[in-house]
Structure 1
Amino acid sequence: MQRTFQRIATGTTAVIALAAGSLALASPSTAAAPSASSTASFSATATLAGYNNLGLTRTQARGVQCFLNTSIYTNIAEDGYLGSASWKAMQAFLNRAWNQKLAVDGNPGPATIRGLQYFLKNGNWGYTGALDGIAGPGTQAAFARFGSAGYKQFC
């Protein structure tokens, strides 16, 4: 009985210590309760981290990067993180192959998302939504299909 109590006490202490340590290291926005702006915080965090995979797994993102590297104009790291170089390559691809007029700035903003949606819709990747520049669930699902196919074919 005493050994069971010791295990419970030790386990509880470890959980409390980990939680306290996590909160102590967290910034105020991370420690706060989720709110309506938590999606905006996630996007800002991903951008601050230097990449924005739009919901793709690292494997799917690598598939996108492997596909982009098939162009003679592109030579990006295939690390599974869609950073500025990956988004510049995607913008250049969308301009070149899909007649988009995007700034090649590495920022996956609304114009780039609209261009990506155009490609995902007209390239038969299953996107059926509006070209609204919002990377919602439909955009993310179609982009994931594209990334998975790119990984299987080019990586």
Structure 2
Amino acid sequence: MPPRTTKKEKDVRTKNMTRTFVTMTAICAVGAGSLVTAGTAVAAPSGKQQVVASESVASLAVVNLGLSTSQAQSVQRWLRDTWGYRGAIDGQLGTESWKALQRMLRGGWNYNDAIDGIVGPNTVKAMQRWLKAGWGYTGAIDGIAGSGTQAAFKRFANYLP
């Protein structure tokens, strides 16, 4: 008989799925806006509004990769103690959390992209190399944060105090 899922666990899953959906929608919207802008650049009087819209979307991006709030808080404490994270310990892996993770990944996991806090394929590939070396990731280094990547990231987060 499978274990029962508590209401709190369901709420956390729902919240994480909502965040993931909002983040992916925002990324798609920014990409679509870039395509539209490229075709209408001559008619656009100024790009200032687009910059403000992109900054607003970026500040909302939280990518916990399946971690619960308490697991993400453990990761943030580790990042604070070892990789210069100075943000809130709020369980929301946003731009500043990912910048600290990117600094860590640059230190030996072949991350050579910008320290920008964006969880793109290069960040995920470096993360997969790191997780493969010590946290049980067995999948391909493909830049896709699928279930195997998320499970290994959870193992790491659960190891932390």
Secondary structure in 1 matching 2:107: helix
1:40-75: CA deviation from partner (whole Å, max 9, x where unpaired): 845415865321101111111111111111126332
Distance in 1, matches of 2:149 and 2:69, equals: 17
1:66 pairs with 2:81: no
Higher RCO (C-alpha 8 Å, min separation 6): 1
In the superposition, relative to structure 1, how do residues 72 and 63 fare at CA in structure 2: closer, same or farther (>3 Å)? closer
Q: Tell me, which stretches of 5 or more residues in structure 2 are unaligned?
A: 1-19, 28-56
Q: 2:155 aligns with which of 142, 145, 154?
A: 145
Q: Which has the larger radius of gyration?
A: 1
1:115 pairs with 2:126: yes
Q: Tell me, which stretches of 5 or more residues in structure 1 are unaligned?
A: 1-39
Distance in 1, matches of 2:75 and 2:26, equals: 18
Distance in 1, matches of 2:25 and 2:70, equals: 21
Q: 1:96 aligns with which of 101, 107, 111?
A: 107
Q: Using structure 2 for the length normalisation, give the TM-score.
A: 0.62
1:27-51: CA deviation from partner (whole Å, max 9, x where unpaired): xxxxxxxxxxxxx845415865321
State how 1:32-47 maps to structure 2 within 5 Å: 41=21, 43-45=23-25
Give the fraction of aligned pairs with identical amino acids, expressed as a percent. 47
Secondary structure in 2 matching 1:98: coil
Contact 1:63 1:149 (8 Å CA) reproduced: no
Distance in 2, matches of 1:71 and 1:110, equals: 24
In the superposition, relative to structure 1, how do residues 141 and 42 fare at CA in structure 2: closer, same or farther (>3 Å)? farther
Q: Using structure 1 for the length normalisation, give the TM-score.
A: 0.64
Deviation at 1:100, TM superposition (A): 2.4
Secondary structure in 2 matching 1:71: helix
- Residue-pair matches, total: 112
Q: 1:129 aligns with which of 116, 139, 144?
A: 139
Deviation at 1:76, TM superposition (A): 2.6
C-alpha RMSD of the superposition: 2.3
Distance in 1, matches of 2:103 and 2:26, equals: 22
Distance in 2, matches of 1:71 and 1:65, equals: 10
Counterpart in the other structure of 2:45 = none
